[in-house]
Amino acid sequence: MKKLLRNPGVQAFLGWVLWLHLTITERTLRWRHENLECVEPVLKPGAPAIGLFWHGRIPLCLGLALIWRRRPNVRSMVSPSSDGEFIAQALSRANFPAIRTSSAKKGDSAKARAAVAAIREAINWVGGGGVLIVTPDGPRGPNEVIAEGSLQIAKRTGAPIYLMGLAASPAIVMSKTWDKVAFAWPFGRGATVWDGPYHVPADADADAIQAMITDLSAKLSAATRRAETLVGHVDPAAGR
């Protein structure tokens, strides 16, 4: 299966299918946006920002595009895995080109160098006034736990972090996947819930970063649960 997913033709086809689903979801759902006033300061050219939403909500993510398209210079951060390849192709079709990075396994020096190069690219992008959208629990999980990378980018650049809860109803939730990925049916309801800004102090040490990971993970999950409430659907697979 992994070999098949690495085939360029298969990747291109999956990227097109995901882009089509994203586009249908964006255009046919009745979207509701809550607390948009918090993000208004960075919806102008040259204002750097980092936006976080959970990996399992990637099929709903163009609900966020309705807001971020109000400004230029928005990119996404996507894993270099085979799954990440077709996701990156789909997002590129939607005009959100990707920076490809992932956490490297211990002892894998080549992937570690690639990850460092991608983080450097992301820091330069955000530091130059761009917006970076990240699924901070991807690509391996654990589900709804923020990995350190996005906070380190915020620390290095001073950019504010915005948390973005996403939900749709009716939706199919793949409860057996690690991220409980959700696919919306057309012509339903969608919601985005925004929270922030949050800043990572330039002098934050490892303990402070870990405390922020715990706090922001809980806040992003709360924003996601709030979005589910707004569409009248609570995901039973979430165990909440």
The three-class DSSP label of residue 188 is strand
Range 2-233: architecture per CATH: 3-Layer(aba) Sandwich (3.40)
CA–CA separation, 122 vs 132, rounded Å?
A: 7
User: Which uninterrupted H or E stretch holds 195?
Assistant: strand 182-198
Query: Hey, what are 213's tokens?
Result: 């990971």
Residue 85: the pLDDT is: 83
Q: Taking all residues of the chain, what is their mean pLDDT, rounded to a whole number?
A: 89
Whole-model pTM?
Answer: 0.89
The answer on pLDDT for 8 being more than 90 is no
Residue 240: the pLDDT is: 39
The Cα diameter of the chain in Å comes to 47
Contacts of 207 (CB under 8 A, 6+ apart): none
Residue at 148: amino acid letter: E
Q: What percent of the chain has pLDDT over 90?
A: 74
CA–CA separation, 104 vs 115, rounded Å?
A: 7
Q: How confident is the model at residue 235 (pLDDT cuts 50, 70, 90)?
A: very low
CA–CA separation, 138 vs 81, rounded Å?
A: 11
Could you tell me if residue 230 is left (phi over 0), alpha (psi between -120 and 50 degrees) or otherwise beta? Answer: alpha
For residue 197, how many C-alpha atoms fall within 13 Å in the half-sphere facing its CB? 17
Per-residue pLDDT reduced to its tens digit, 21-58: 999 999 999 999 999 999 999 999 999 999 999 999 99
The answer on pLDDT for 236 being more than 50 is no
Beta bridge partners of 77: 99, 134
The three-class DSSP label of residue 168 is strand
- Alpha-helix residue ranges (DSSP H) falling in 94-201: 109-127, 149-157
CA–CA separation, 7 vs 206, rounded Å?
A: 40
Q: What are phi and psi of 69, to 5 degrees?
A: -70, -5
Per-residue pLDDT reduced to its tens digit, 67-120: 999 999 999 998 766 667 889 999 999 989 899 765 545 555 666 676 788 889
Contacts of 202 (CB under 8 A, 6+ apart): 155, 158
Residue 239: the pLDDT is: 38
Query: Hey, what are 191's tokens?
Result: 């919601």
